[in-house]
Chains A and B, each alone.
Chain A
Amino acid sequence: MPQYVMVIDRGKCVGCQSCTVACRVHNDLPVSVIYNPVVTNGVTGLFPHVHMTHVPLLCMHCRNTPCVDACPTKASQQREDGIVWVDQDMCVGCKACIMSCPYGARSSHDGVAWKCTFCKERVDAGEKPYCVNTCHQKARSFGDLDDPASEVAQLVGAKGGQWLLGELNTQPGVYYIN
C-alpha cells in the first residue's frame, strides 16, 4: 500500500496563491472554505538583510490523527494510503475535529466539516492533486514515500524534510524543505 505524502519547498514558493485558487475552483469549494492558504511570515530583519517566507498550509494528513481520534461518528477517516477525509453524510457537525486540528486545516460549512483530501479521486485515477499540478514554481511534490524511486522519497531523503508543529507528535504527511 502506498503512503502518500506531499513535499513543499519553501525556498521555491513565491506566495502567489495559485494553488489556493486552483484548489477552490476545481474542487468547487464554498466561498468560506479554503483548503490550502499560503501564509506569509515577514518581512523580518533589517535592510538590506530582509527576509520573507511563504508557507503553503493544508491538511497535513497526519499519521497520528487527532481529528480522526476525536470524531464521535467515524465520519473522519484515514485510508490505508494515509489520506484523511470526511464522509459528510456521516458528519454531525460537532466540530470536534476542527477543534482538535493543530493546523486549522478544517472548516465548518453547511453544518458539516470540510477539508483537503489530497484530491483523492484524482490520486485514485493516477493523477496528482490540483495544487501540485498548478504550482508553476514546482514547489509542491506529491507521491508515495515508500517508493524509493519517487520524487518525494528522494527529496525527503536528500533534504530531510521538516514537519510543522512536529513537537505535537502528529507525524504529518506533509514535509517542508528549504
Chain B
Amino acid sequence: MAVKHHDDNWGWMLAADFFFAGMGAAAVAAAGVLTFAAPGLSSPLVGAVGAVGVGIGALLLILELGKPLRAWRVFTNPKAILTFGAWNMTLTAGLGFVLASFAFPIFPWAGVAILEKLVAGLCVLCGLIVAAYPGVLLARHKARPFWHGPGLIPLFLLSSLATGLALHLLCNAALPAPNQALVQPLAVGTALLLLLQAVLWVAYVYVKRSTGTEHEVAAAERWAKGDLAPGFGLFLAGGMVLPGLLVGLSAPALQVGGALLALGGGALMRLWVIKGGENRTFLPGEQLFRSRLPIGDEAFIRAGK
C-alpha cells in the first residue's frame, strides 16, 4: 500500500500546459491581427503551429488529470473558470488551423476574404482570452498567497504575447512570410514586451514581499532569497532581458536565438509560478504537523516491506 503524505499541488504538466497554450494562443491572436492589417504578413506556418501549441497544452492538461478518461467532464460546468478555459482552448486550436488553411489554395474557402477576416477576428478574441486565462485562474486562488490578486493577469498576458510573437519570428525564419514589412517591428515589439515583463516581475515580487499579508510575504520570500530565487534570476536575466536585447537589437540569426531564449524563459516562469503556489494559507502548527507525516521512504516503512 502506498504511503504518501506529500502536499497535493499542481505539477509541471500544468506549467507546460500554460506555456504551450499561452504561446500558441497569442501566436494565433497575432496572426489574426496581421490578417486584418494586410495579406501575407505572417508566415503561413504560424496559425497551424500556434494551434498545435494550444493542442499540446490541452493534451498536457488532460494527462495531468487523475482520471484522464473522464476529461470530457471538464466541459460540463459553465460556472467554473476551468470549464471556460477548456472551451476557449478548444476553440482557439480549431480556429488557428482554419486560419492557417486560408494560405493554401487547395481549400475551397481560401479566397473568401470576408470569411478569413471573420475567422481572424474570432482568433484574436479567443486567443487573447486563452493568453490571459492562466493569470485569471491563478489570481482567484485565495488559498495561494503568491497567486492571489490581479497582478498575475498582466504578467501572464505579457508573457503569452511575448512568447507568441517570438514564435512568429521562429516561424518566419523557417518559412518566411510573403510580405516581410512587419517582421522588424514585430521583433521590436517582442523585445519591448520581454523587457516590460522583467520590470513588472521585479515589481510584483517586491510588492508582495513588502506590503503583502503574512502569508504573501512568506511566499514572496522564497522568490527573493529562498529556493526559487536562482530560477527567478535565471528567467529574468536569461529568459527576458537577454532575449529582449537579442531580439530587439540584433541581426536575424541572433533574433532566432533570442526568440528561443524567450520561449525557455516563458516556460521556466510558468513552472516557477506553479511552484510558488505550493505556499498555502497554512495555519499555525499545520506545516509542522504535515512535515512529520511519512512520505513513503522512511526507514520504518521500508523495514515492513
Contacts and interface: CB of A to CB of B under 8 A. Distances in A.
Real binding pair = yes
B211 interface: no
B2 A31 contact: yes
Interface stretch (B105-113, B191-199, B246-254, B281-289): B281-289
B1 interface: yes
B286 A108 contact: no
Given A32-B4, A112-B66, A73 B288 contact: no
Contacts, number: 128
A40 interface: yes
B10 A32 contact: no
A102 B74 CA distance: 22
Contacts of A112: 66-67
A92 B281 contact: no
Interface string A54-83: 010100000000100111111100000000
A31 B3 contact: yes
Given A40-B289, A107-B8, A102 B142 contact: yes
B82 A98 contact: no
Contact of B66 (A53, A70, A93, A99): A93
Contacts of A74: 76-77
A32 B142 contact: no
A48 to B, nearest CB: 22
B64 interface: yes
A164 interface: yes
Interface string A80-124: 000000000011111110111111101110111000000000000
A50 interface: no
B143 A102 contact: yes
Contacts of B289: 37-40
A92 B280 contact: no
A165 interface: yes
Nearest to A32: B4
Contact of A168 (B67, B142, B282, B288): B142
Nearest to B69: A92
A71 to B, nearest CB: 6
B73 A73 contact: yes
Interface of B is mostly: loop
B67 A93 contact: yes
Contact of A73 (B77, B144, B285): B77
Interface string B212-247: 000000000000000000000000000000000000
Contacts of A170: 142
A56 to B, nearest CB: 11
B283 A55 contact: yes
Nearest to A94: B65
B81 interface: yes
Interface in B41-97: 64-68, 70-71, 73-77, 79-83, 86
B210 interface: no
Contacts of B82: 70, 72, 94, 96
B64 A104 contact: no
Contact of A72 (B4, B7, B86, B280): B86
Contacts of B290: 37, 104
B287 to A, nearest CB: 9
Interface string B246-281: 000000000000000000000000000000010011
A95 B73 contact: no
Interface string A31-43: 1101001111110
A32 to B, nearest CB: 5
Given A92-B67, A99-B9, 8 more contacts: A71-B80, A72-B74, A72-B80, A73-B70, A108-B66, A111-B66, A168-B143, A168-B281
24 contacts: A32-B5, A39-B283, A39-B284, A39-B286, A70-B80, A70-B82, A72-B74, A72-B76, A75-B73, A99-B141, A99-B143, A99-B144, A100-B142, A100-B143, A102-B143, A104-B7, A106-B8, A108-B8, A111-B65, A111-B67, A112-B66, A165-B281, A165-B283, A170-B142
Interface of A: 30-32, 34, 37-42, 53, 55, 57, 66, 69-75, 90-96, 98-104, 106-108, 110-112, 164-165, 168, 170
